[in-house]
Amino acid sequence: MAEVEKAEELYEGKAKKVFTTSDPELLIVSYKDDATAGDGEKKGTIVGKGAINNRMTNYLMQVLEQAGIPTDYVEELNDRETVVKKVTIFPLEVIVRNISAGHFASNFGVEEGIVFDQPTFEYSLKNDDLHDPLINDSHIVALKLAKQEDLDRIRELTLKVNDILKEFFAKLNVTLVDFKLEFGRTSDGTIILADEISPDTARFWDATTGEKLDKDRFRRDMGGVEDAYNEMMHRVFGDNA
């Protein structure tokens, strides 16, 4: 493809910077090592995280594309930077859970580790000031954040992503506990998967030992954070990690 040039910084988020490019339909994302948790109250650095999340996201996006999920992935530029399709993001965190953990356990007063008969599906409104509250379909439609038909498509794609990723990680002896997705709309109106899929945005447990291989090690001050990210990188890329 033609060379895509970085133009201006559009946005700096907690874990990524986003740049406009010479092509109005494309953006460049740049992954940082910065980590936050607990509504941004806890801040730190996970050395090497940016490169790991960039490469893992890109790999998983390509796995998903091949399985028929439309994604924003275009081209990896280097360790930390990737060209993606420009989308208008729905301001929703789309969360799927296969096993109880995190806020599911704390909100509903149950222990972590309950294996569900079928995945749960929920949305949080992306709004830091409101602490990303849970929100349902009728609220989203009432607030005109998406139409019901958009939500039906997002749900269909998300459950398919869960099936594909559960199987993908099971082969690496990793249990996919839960994860968060974000979706956006391209200029032609197509809904596609965007943002990242990484140990920042998913919970991964070693299938044999139950060891946590994700950002919970940072959130909960468990130590071994970098080791966990590196371990996930090795499971996915083997000797090419």
**Where does this chain bind ligand TYD (CB under 6 A)?**
93, 95, 101-104, 124, 132, 178-180, 201-203
Q: Give the Cα separation of 75 and 165 in Å (integer).
A: 21
Count of other CB atoms within 10 angstroms of residue 125: 17
In whole angstroms, the minimum distance from the beta carbon of 48 to ligand TYD comes to 19
| Closer of 95 and 165 to ligand TYD (Cβ) | 95
| Buried b or exposed e, range 61-97, using 16+ CB within 10 angstroms | bebbeeeebebbbbebeeebbbbbbbbeebbbbbbbb
Cα-Cα-Cα-Cα torsion 229, 235, 239, 241, nearest 10 degrees, comes to: -30
Measured in degrees and rounded to the nearest 5, phi and psi for residue 202 equal -140, 160
Residue with the shortest CB distance to ligand TYD: 102
| Closer of 86 and 180 to ligand TYD (Cβ) | 180
| Closer of 95 and 174 to ligand TYD (Cβ) | 95
| Closer of 180 and 235 to ligand TYD (Cβ) | 180
In whole angstroms, the minimum distance from the beta carbon of 212 to ligand TYD comes to 11
| Closer of 21 and 195 to ligand TYD (Cβ) | 195
In whole angstroms, the minimum distance from the beta carbon of 76 to ligand TYD comes to 21
| Closer of 150 and 195 to ligand TYD (Cβ) | 195
In whole angstroms, the minimum distance from the beta carbon of 176 to ligand TYD comes to 9
With 0-12 / 13-18 / 19 or more C-beta atoms within 10 angstroms meaning exposed / middle / buried, residue 201 is buried
In whole angstroms, the minimum distance from the beta carbon of 111 to ligand TYD comes to 14
In whole angstroms, the minimum distance from the beta carbon of 59 to ligand TYD comes to 18
Measured in degrees and rounded to the nearest 5, phi and psi for residue 73 equal -65, 135
**Residues sharing a CB contact under 8 Å with residue 12, sequence separation 6 or more, in sequence order:** 18
Measured in degrees and rounded to the nearest 5, phi and psi for residue 77 equal -90, -40
